[in-house]
Structure 1
Amino acid sequence: MLDEAVQALRGWQRDDLPFQLHPGDLGWYRRFGAEATDEAIRIWRGDGRIVAVGLLDGADLLRFTIAPDARADEELARRLAEDICTPERGVLPAGTVYVESPRGTRFQELMFERGWQSDEPWTPLRRDLGAPVPDPGVRVEAIGHDQADLHASVIRASFEKSTFTEERWRAMAAGSPYADARSLVAFDRGDAVAAVTVWSAGPGRPGLIEPMGVHHDHRGKGFGRAITVAAASALRELGSSSALVCTPSSNAGAVATYRAAGFDQLPEVHDQRRD
């Protein structure tokens, strides 16, 4: 299931399209293991091909995208809306739930017509990788299996409720999307101060940063900007056309960090919510 979904998502990534579900999102979810990842993936087919892919990212959030050439398809939009709005079909449960999907699709219009509402805003950001990326100004190392615990520990120290562990790093790295990914750690005088994982969707396509974190003991010193610059450089080496990231608009510090690392702020996006 994972490999099939990733292959479809890779082909749908383009710089001229709105921010959408990326192969790296599935790769990052793979930290929960192969079985859990397959259970979280939703695939819709039509005319002998995959036309939509979703990731149930927790019990109440479906992260979801549609093949670019099918986003105005009325019949498909109605089929998707019916599947997602009907708890008995096993896509989302009853009660308050959320859907993340690309803006500007017929599917989104139908969801609003069914009474769904816009939720809190998110800010996508993009950095073009056509030109070389400057040196980040700190020592940055690519992390392999022998240092999985180091990368995981920095991510845990960066997010209050993180459950990322060495075992989960290894599960993530065992997934097929990680063949086009890199994990990086930034150092200051021997201390690991920031970490990131980047995900390529293939040469000439946008790459994704997910996650990026700065150790809580080393914030306010520019290490977030530095590791983000290093992430952009790593994606360029992997052949990506651009680097993408998305963060809650309420997290002004994260938005400022990405902008300081050369990312352009794109129009806000919203999940849709059913109460």
Structure 2
Amino acid sequence: MWDLGMTIEVETPAVGGLELVVARLAEWQVDGGAVQLHPGDLGWFWRYGAEQTAAAVRTWARDGELLAVGMLDEPDLLRVAIAPGAQEDEELARRIAADVADPAAGVLVEGKVYLETPNDSRVRDLLFVAGWELDDPWQPLERDLAEPVEDSGLAVEIVTAETAAVRVGVQRASFDGSTFSEERWHAMAGGTPYARARCLIGRDAAGEAVGAITVWSAGKGRPGLIEPLGVHRNHRGHGYGRAMTLAGAAALRELGASRAQVLTPCFNEGAIATYRSAGFELLPQRRDQYRKA
């Protein structure tokens, strides 16, 4: 379908190659740039272990230079970040489009599949021409961290190996069907992205753990990510979501982040309202593309 050159190579990196992948993803996070796959997304996936994380990653490179990184959130969903200077690179776009369209390339499975790429990337244009369609919208939000963040009103503590069980308990009580565990927390905390991350739990006046958040920095002066935020199902309706969001934003500022970013489905009006109440502003919506089965 696409006339391809031979200079772009796609591969699945070895575990040892993940450090470079994380470094490049961090460099691609820029103020005012596309909201796209963040090193924190890899960091949260790392709860499944380094080997499974590496197996979920796809990279596209020219002459050894990484131009795009994809992560399989699911076997049928690939999230792709593209280097800021390569968003309109025709050869790269054609190679990515060809690889995601061909199950034999080992990037996406057969049948109905989904692809997330930056809104203005050339690859989106090519896939629309090939018949791919738009999926349901997602809402990115961000808060500028130039000024100090107001106090959350909660007793907030940084999660350590000794309090990982509490963090896990809040996560499992916040998301139905969660499979988070202490083992997975330790795997995540041992991953490369977690060196610039922070896990927090918030406690109410009685000392009960009511909420938790994990935030990921991409380095000083770059946007950081919230992934995930949760409020214990037994403690909802008290403003703890806003409080934990403020705590997470403050932690990102301490880590040197320029902005705090988060992404949530547009149908999740409660989450959007929570982030707005914590000073986050709406960014242009994002929509994955999908290929019918």
- TM-score bracket for the superposition, by shorter chain length: over 0.9
- Scaled by the length of structure 2, the TM-score of the pair is 0.93
- Scaled by the length of structure 1, the TM-score of the pair is 0.99
Contact in 2 for aligned 1:64/1:99 (Cα 8 Å): yes
Query: Which residue of 1 is the match for residue 8 of structure 2?
Result: none
Q: Deviations over 1:19-39 (max 9, x none)?
A: 100000000000001110010
| Secondary structure of 2:142 counterpart | strand
Aligned length: 275
Corresponding position: 1:235 with 2:248: no
**Partners in 1 of 2:177 and 2:35 — Cα distance?**
26
The amino acid of 2:222's aligned partner reads R
The amino acid of 1:208's aligned partner reads L
Q: Name which of 15, 19, 23 aligns with 1:3.
A: 19
Corresponding position: 1:99 with 2:115: yes
Query: Which residue of 2 is the match for residue 48 of structure 1?
Result: 64
**CA RMSD between the two structures:** 0.7
The amino acid of 2:165's aligned partner reads D
Query: Which residue of 1 is the match for residue 30 of structure 2?
Result: 14
Contact in 2 for aligned 1:43/1:50 (Cα 8 Å): yes
**How big is the shift at 1:265?**
1.1
Q: Deviations over 1:90-111 (max 9, x none)?
A: 0001101101111011111111
Q: Name which of 92, 101, 126 aligns with 1:110.
A: 126
**Partners in 1 of 2:120 and 2:187 — Cα distance?**
35
**How big is the shift at 1:47?**
3.3
The amino acid of 2:163's aligned partner reads Q
Q: Name which of 207, 224, 227 aligns with 1:207.
A: 224
**Partners in 1 of 2:126 and 2:173 — Cα distance?**
41
**Partners in 1 of 2:285 and 2:170 — Cα distance?**
29
Query: Which residue of 1 is the match for residue 158 of structure 2?
Result: 142
| Secondary structure of 2:40 counterpart | helix
Q: Name which of 122, 129, 136 aligns with 2:145.
A: 129
Query: Which residue of 1 is the match for residue 76 of structure 2?
Result: 60
The amino acid of 1:148's aligned partner reads A
Q: Name which of 233, 244, 256 aligns with 2:273.
A: 256
**How big is the shift at 1:15?**
1.3
**Partners in 2 of 1:4 and 1:72 — Cα distance?**
23
**How big is the shift at 1:61?**
0.5
Q: Deviations over 1:57-109 (max 9, x none)?
A: 11110011111101111111101100111000100011011011110111111
**Partners in 1 of 2:130 and 2:161 — Cα distance?**
47
Query: Which residue of 2 is the match for residue 197 of structure 1?
Result: 214
Contact in 2 for aligned 1:183/1:195 (Cα 8 Å): yes
Q: Deviations over 1:151-203 (max 9, x none)?
A: 01101111112111111000000101100000000111111000000000000
**Partners in 2 of 1:248 and 1:181 — Cα distance?**
23
Query: Which residue of 2 is the match for residue 177 of structure 1?
Result: 193
| Secondary structure of 2:139 counterpart | strand
**Partners in 1 of 2:117 and 2:92 — Cα distance?**
14
**Partners in 2 of 1:135 and 1:260 — Cα distance?**
13
**Partners in 1 of 2:233 and 2:20 — Cα distance?**
38
* Uncovered stretches (5+) of structure 1, i.e. residues with no partner: none
**How big is the shift at 1:7?**
0.8
**Partners in 1 of 2:64 and 2:231 — Cα distance?**
45
**Partners in 1 of 2:192 and 2:61 — Cα distance?**
22
Q: Deviations over 1:117-143 (max 9, x none)?
A: 110110000000000001001111111
| Secondary structure of 1:161 counterpart | coil
**Partners in 2 of 1:18 and 1:8 — Cα distance?**
15
Following TM superposition, the consecutive aligned residue runs of length 4 or more in structure 1 with deviations greater than 2 angstroms are none
Contact in 2 for aligned 1:30/1:171 (Cα 8 Å): yes
**Partners in 2 of 1:14 and 1:220 — Cα distance?**
35
Contact in 2 for aligned 1:2/1:26 (Cα 8 Å): no
The amino acid of 1:81's aligned partner reads A
Query: Which residue of 1 is the match for residue 53 of structure 2?
Result: 37
